[in-house]
A and B are shown apart, each in its own frame.
Chain A
Amino acid sequence: MLNDPRELCARANSIRRRNLIMLNHAGLGHTGGDLSATDILATLYFSILNIDPQVPDKADRDRFILSKGHCSGVLYTTLAEAGFIPLAELDTFMQPLSRLNGHPNRNKVPGVETNTGALGHGLPVAIGTALAAKFDDATWRTFVLTGDGELQEGSNWEAAMAAAHYKLDDLVLIIDRNRLQQGDATERTMHLEPLADKWRAFGWSVREVDGHDHAVLLGTFRSVPFELGKPSCVIAHTYKGQGVSFIRDRAEWHHRVPSKDELTIALEELGDNGHDPAL
């Protein structure tokens, strides 16, 4: 468990570098959404979640559910960085018959909790795991990461009601609020605001944070549940493509991946922080 935000920052940087190399190698993937969620995943996997890469299915592990399954890239690179899968396997991302599919599969990849890809599934599945933990009087928690555009799926709001109804205070929803969906801004596509008020109205305890500030993320995740008897909602304000100037905050990078030249520039921008000399 890392306690120093600077160490988390280095981890996140390493995940970003591996991710961009992987996406360039595959020629496929979701660059923008991977990079917006990287700091959230780095903080969860290296400082928050009770997990063991040696025993990925241990019964009392904290559950992390990636609802925005198209951002499997950041999940795989984080799982590799954390030791769940070999780093070398990242070269097989989206290759024929690889287990690292475009959307994650719990029966193929250790550490993956759910088969996501159809948006609006992660939070409802998380209702089930959180209810099960309560049923078993267990202490493990469920963290679920959704996109923001994804919240246009109605199933999320069915789950939002159920979480408050069942007082699931061991459930933490993190919204990757990068304000962009596949083709355009969320607010031009289908209004989500006032987002925090909506979750509060549904009975959640809500905090809005900078989704790229590791110290803030660490402090936020360490203080869940925000209120006893209520599910916690973290609206993480992020930028799609965070970390690389020409990718950041641009809708066209939803499903675009870096070319070889773009990768070179991107890696220069990110800088080698010395965390992994192999890179």
Chain B
Amino acid sequence: MTINPSRYHQLLPEVVQMLDAPDFFTRTKSIATRFSYAEAVLELAERNSRIVVLDADVSKSINTNKFADKYPDREFNFGIAEQNMMAAAAGMATTGLIPFASTYAVFASLRALDQVRNSIHYPHLNVKIAASHSGITPGPDGVTHQAQEDLSIMRSLATSTVIATADAPSTKLATYAAADWDGPVYLSFTRDPVPVLFDINYPFQIGKMVLLRDGNDATIIANRDIVAHALVAAEKLAQEGFDIRVIDCHTLKPLDVETILQAARETGAIVTAENNIIFGGLGSAVAETLVENYPIPMQRIGVQDTFAESGPYLQVIDKYGLTSPHIVRAVKRVIERKKSGR
């Protein structure tokens, strides 16, 4: 069976054509989204003189060193001191600056969480937290650098806005949108390269999911780097005769409840897929919505109750059940449950 491009939306044509390729992830053009953030914030700086970048020693890794090169007076390196960086970002925001505080997700969401909660979110200050190495995207670095719970933690903070974009162009769009958003925004990026799925015309809007594939047998709702795996899974399932809807949930919070309920009503079965621990992230958010509004069979793909091993990114996330074969199995299971009414 050949790919039916008319079922897909927003994807680059060449990406659609490759969805059934066994070497999809090595053949597609891939970019680490941390670099897209760095490009975007550099562009933003030209348009808005209030934008400043805060670093905690890892600017060479995130590429914000390019910002520092171009705007030496607008980049502040705090050294290896994330708590101080986050609190100082809060202080800067009280004066009307728009700080983008950049570090790794483990440090943004864990080491500096007290500052992120009490000094940024509680007073609702206009700080943008730019977190690279989110999820198990730093494969070889091991557990200390794998932020497998950052999205859950950030989602649990009152008034937070939490974004996990799938690819390079949507990451740039999210960064632009964060600059215009009133209040704190947590942006999460991948360490490793992930396929470029969209172009810069992607209809990114904070809090609004994007339909990527039509389908009525079940829906896969995915975020960040697992969106690509969800698309590959949907195409595999299409080859077997299943028609699966795929949605990019780039904004974990505020959650697009309407689109979830529409998918629930129209497809009757939902699988969530995320590179984040199973507790409190996308799967939890969707489950909470369904159970209170429209209970239907649902399965969750995510990191189970374990820390991961270290190894190459794709190999590690496969071991922990986040890749397309696992998603395919979960979708078949949920369709089975839908049919049998369990």
Mark B107-135 against chain A: 1 for CB-CB distance below 8 A, else 0: 00000001100110011100000000000
Whether A132 contacts B87 in the complex (CB less than 8 A), given A118-B114, A161-B81, comes out as no
Report whether B83 and A158 are in contact in the complex, using a CB–CB cutoff of 8 Å: yes
Interface locus among B92-100, B190-198, B290-298: B92-100
| Chain B, 110-164, CB within 8 A of any chain A CB | 114-115, 118-119, 122-124
| Chain B, 16-43, CB within 8 A of any chain A CB | none
Q: How far is the CB of A57 from chain B (nearest CB, A)?
A: 10
Does B84 sit within 8 A of A, measured CB to CB? yes
Report whether B91 and A129 are in contact in the complex, using a CB–CB cutoff of 8 Å: yes
Separation of A154 and B81 alpha carbons in the complex (Å): 10
Separation of A193 and B234 alpha carbons in the complex (Å): 65
Report whether B91 and A125 are in contact in the complex, using a CB–CB cutoff of 8 Å: yes
Partner of A118, one of B79, B81, B118: B118
Interface locus among A105-113, A240-248, A253-261: A105-113
Report whether A161 and B79 are in contact in the complex, using a CB–CB cutoff of 8 Å: yes
Report whether B114 and A127 are in contact in the complex, using a CB–CB cutoff of 8 Å: no
Q: How far is the CB of B167 from chain A (nearest CB, A)?
A: 33
Interface centre among A115, A128, A165 (most CB of B within 10 A): A128
Q: How far is the CB of B160 from chain A (nearest CB, A)?
A: 16
Report whether B119 and A121 are in contact in the complex, using a CB–CB cutoff of 8 Å: yes
Q: How far is the CB of B294 from chain A (nearest CB, A)?
A: 36
Report whether A114 and B84 are in contact in the complex, using a CB–CB cutoff of 8 Å: no
Report whether B89 and A128 are in contact in the complex, using a CB–CB cutoff of 8 Å: yes
Report whether B84 and A121 are in contact in the complex, using a CB–CB cutoff of 8 Å: no
- Chain A residues whose C-beta falls within 8 Å of the C-beta of B91 in the assembled complex: 114, 124-132
Report whether A121 and B88 are in contact in the complex, using a CB–CB cutoff of 8 Å: no
Whether A128 contacts B92 in the complex (CB less than 8 A), given A135-B73, A162-B84, comes out as yes
Report whether A124 and B122 are in contact in the complex, using a CB–CB cutoff of 8 Å: no
Report whether B123 and A106 are in contact in the complex, using a CB–CB cutoff of 8 Å: yes
Separation of A168 and B111 alpha carbons in the complex (Å): 25
Contact count band on A: 20 to 34
Separation of A117 and B117 alpha carbons in the complex (Å): 12
Does A133 sit within 8 A of B, measured CB to CB? yes
- Chain A residues whose C-beta falls within 8 Å of the C-beta of B86 in the assembled complex: 124
Report whether A105 and B84 are in contact in the complex, using a CB–CB cutoff of 8 Å: no
Mark B64-102 against chain A: 1 for CB-CB distance below 8 A, else 0: 000000000110101101011011111111111101000
Separation of A16 and B207 alpha carbons in the complex (Å): 50
Report whether A127 and B97 are in contact in the complex, using a CB–CB cutoff of 8 Å: no
- Chain A residues whose C-beta falls within 8 Å of the C-beta of B114 in the assembled complex: 118, 121
Does A136 sit within 8 A of B, measured CB to CB? yes
- Chain B residues whose C-beta falls within 8 Å of the C-beta of A59 in the assembled complex: 95-96
Closest chain B residue, CB of each to CB of A108: B123
- Chain A residues whose C-beta falls within 8 Å of the C-beta of B123 in the assembled complex: 105-107, 114-115
Separation of A126 and B94 alpha carbons in the complex (Å): 10
Separation of A129 and B96 alpha carbons in the complex (Å): 10
Report whether A132 and B97 are in contact in the complex, using a CB–CB cutoff of 8 Å: yes
Does B270 sit within 8 A of A, measured CB to CB? no
Report whether A114 and B79 are in contact in the complex, using a CB–CB cutoff of 8 Å: no
- Chain B residues whose C-beta falls within 8 Å of the C-beta of A132 in the assembled complex: 91-92, 94-97
Report whether B84 and A124 are in contact in the complex, using a CB–CB cutoff of 8 Å: yes
Closest chain A residue, CB of each to CB of B82: A158
A-B CB proximity, top 5 nearest? A128-B91, A124-B87, A128-B88, A158-B84, A158-B81
Chain A contact residues, CB within 8 Å of chain B: 59, 63, 105-107, 113-115, 117-118, 120-121, 124-133, 135-136, 154-155, 158-159, 161-162, 165-166
Q: Would you give 14 A-B contacts (Cβ < 8 Å), ordered by A?
A: A106-B94, A107-B124, A115-B123, A118-B118, A118-B119, A121-B87, A121-B119, A124-B83, A124-B84, A127-B87, A131-B88, A132-B92, A159-B88, A162-B79
Known: A118-B118, A125-B87, A127-B88. 14 other contacts (CB 8 A): A59-B96, A105-B123, A106-B123, A124-B88, A124-B91, A125-B94, A128-B92, A131-B88, A154-B83, A155-B87, A158-B79, A158-B83, A162-B78, A165-B79
